Structure 1
C-alpha cells in the first residue's frame, strides 16, 4: 500500500483532535512533520506521533520534498496563503473549515489547485456525523413526503469568553458564523443545494467583539431552511427538525465522536461512532411514530476518501467548489444582516 507523507500545520484542537487523532486510524498515511511553536503543544505532538519531527515554521513543511499532503489547521486568515504555497510546492492540501475568509480567496485557490493538478479539499467532518448520516437516510427513504421545512441547530452554553481564543478576537473570519456556521451551511447545501435567497440575523449576545449567535435562513422554491447557533443556550433545542407533507423527523444531541476524540480516543473498528439509544431520533408519520436507529458516524471516511483521491484519482469527499459555496452563503448572510433583508445569490 502506498504511504502518503503528511505535514500538519497547527497543533491546537483542530490539528491534534480532529485531524491528527483521526488520521492515526486510517491506513496509508504517515505524519512526518508537525508545525507548532508552542512548547506544550510540541510536547503533546511528540507523544502523539513519536516518529514525527516537530518544527516551528510552516516553511519546513513546504520545503520538504517527501511530504505529499499538507493539512492546514491554523487561524482562518492564514488558510489562503499557506494553502497556496503548499499547492505551488506540489503538495495536495486539506484545509480545516472554513475554506477561506472570502469567496475571492477561495476562487484563487481553486485556480492554483487546477494549475498545479493537485487535490484541494475542505475538512467538513460533520458530513460524517452519525446524526447527519441518519438524516440523509430518512430523506432518501422518502417517508416524510415532500420536504417543506428543515431546521438545524449547533448550540452551546458558554456565557464566558475563552482566554486567548483567536475565534473570539476581532479578526476577519472570526466568530460563530464562520466557525459553527460552516458546518450547518455545508450540511444544508449537501442536502438541498444552493438556495435562491439568503437571510441573515447575526448578533453578539455576550457583547463581545465578534458574533456569537446567528440565524441564517435559506429560501428555496418550496423549502425553507433555518440554521441557528448560539453560545447562550442552556436547554438544548433539537439538533435537527425535518418537516414534510407526511410527517416529521426530530433528532436531539450532538455526534459522540468529538467528545471521544477530545478524551484521547483513537477511531477504531467495532462501536466507534455508534450513538447510544437515548440519542436516537423520532420519526412521526401518517403511518407510525417510531425510534430511528442512528447510522454510525465515522470521520475516518473523510481521510479514506482523500487517500483514494490522491492515489487513485477518485472523487474528493469535499470539493473546493463546495467549500467556496459555504463562503458564498456566509458572505450573503453578512450582507443580508447589514441590509436587514433577504439577498439573492
Structure 2
C-alpha cells in the first residue's frame, strides 16, 4: 500500500480526496495536515493529524502527497513536495499561471516523480455517458458542443474563492473542469474567444464566463454563471445524427459531502429522473441511462502509475494545456478578440 498524506481538509479534502483515497485498496490515507483535527477524527478516529506541511513532507514513510488547499498555494506546495521526493496529486487548478505549471512538470520529470492533477470530472456519470455516445457514433460528427455549470447564488461568501487575486473567481475554479473535459474529447482548439465578467453586486472576482473554442467547423461553448434560477442543460451536444441533452450534475459530490462511502454499491449511480436523452432530427427522444460515475478510477490510476511506472490518469501536459486556454481566455476577454491557441 502507498502511504498517502493529504494537505488540506476543507471542501476538497473532506468531500473528495480523503474518502476517495480511503476507498482505494492500493492507497493508505496515513496523515492529514489541517487545523480541523476534530472534524478529521469524527470520520477517521485513528488518523494522524499533522500541524503543517513541512512536518508531513519530512516523513520518509509518506510516498504520495495530495494537495487540496487554496489555489494560489498549489504550485509552491507541489514544488516542496517533489523536492522532498514525493509523488504528488494537485487539486485543480494545476497552478494559477502556465509558467508555474510548466516548471512543476519539468521538475517532476527530472526527479522521476509522478505528478498528476485531480481532474475528477472525467469520471462523472454524465461525461462518461456522453463520451461513450460520441465514441459509438450515435451523435454523428459533432458540430456544436455546449457544457454549462450554472448556479443561483446571489450572495457573496467569505471565501478565498471570492477574494480578488490569482486564485479567485469562477473561471479558475470551475473553468478547469469544463476545459479539461472538452480537451479530453476533442484535443486542443485552433483558437479561443471569451467573455468574462462579474455580475453580482460588489463581487471582487469573475462569476460569469462564456468561452468559445474553435475547432474548424465545430464550436465548443463552455459557460458558467452565478445568477441562473433555472439551470441550462449541463450538456447539449449536437451532431449530424442526433443531439444529446442532459440536465443535472453527477451525484458523487453530493453523496461524498453527505458522508457516504465511495465504495458503496449505489455510489455514483444517477437517479433515472435525471438521465439524458438522444433527440433525433425527426424529434423522437430516446432516454439514455447514465453510466456509473466513479472518481476512484482516478486514484486507482495514480496508484498504478506509482507502482508500475505507467502514465498518470491525468498528465501534467493535459493540465498545462487547460491552463493555457484559461490564460488565453482572460486575454481574449480583455482585448475583445479571438486568439489562436
TM-score w.r.t. the length of structure 1 is: 0.96
Correspondence list, 1:156-175, <5 A: 156-163=151-158, 165-175=159-169
1:329 matched to 2:330: no
Find the counterpart in structure 2 of residue 240 from structure 1: 235
SS at match of 2:249: coil
Of the structure 1 ranges 103-112 and 307-316, higher mean CA displacement relative to structure 2 is found in 307-316
In structure 1, C-alpha distance between the alignment counterparts of 2:324 and 2:43, rounded to whole Å: 36
Matches within 5 A, 1:306-345: 306-345=302-341
Q: Contact 1:32/1:51 (CA < 8 Å) preserved in 2? A: no
Q: Distance in 2 between matches of 1:119 and 1:283?
A: 39
> Residue 56 of structure 2 contacts residue 62 of structure 2 at CA under 8 Å; is this kept in 1?
yes
Aligned match for 1:227, one of 222, 229, 243: 222
- Bigger mean CA deviation after superposition, 191-200 or 271-280: 271-280
Deviation of the 1:312 alpha carbon: 1.2
Q: Which runs of 4+ in 1 moved over 6 A?
A: none
Q: CA RMSD in A?
A: 1.1
* C-alpha distance in structure 1 between counterparts of 2:264 and 2:153, whole Å: 33
Please point out which of 58, 66, 86 is paired with 1:63. 58
How many residues end up aligned between the 2 structures?
339
**TM-superposition CA deviations, 1:285-309 (whole Å, max 9, x none):** 2585211011000111111111111
The equivalent of 1:201 in structure 2 is 195
Per-residue CA shift, 1:40-62, capped at 9, x if unaligned?
A: x2111122223322122100111
Moved more, 172-181 or 44-53: 44-53
Q: TM-score if structure 2 supplies the norm length? A: 0.97
Q: Which stretch of structure 1 is more off in the superposition, 10-19 or 282-291?
A: 282-291
Residue in 1 aligned with 2:176?
182
Structure 2 stretches lacking a partner, 5+ long: none
Q: SS at 1:100's partner residue?
A: coil
Do structure 1's residue 132 and structure 2's residue 130 form an aligned pair? no
Q: List aligned pairs for 1:34-113, cutoff 5 A.
A: 34-37=32-35, 41-113=36-108
State the alpha-carbon separation in 1 of the partners of residues 204 and 128 from structure 2: 35
Residues 295-331 of structure 1, C-alpha deviation per residue, up to 9 Å, x if partnerless?
0001111111111111112221100111111110000
Unaligned segments of structure 1, at least 5 residues: none
Q: Return 56-65 or 280-289, whichever deviates more.
A: 280-289
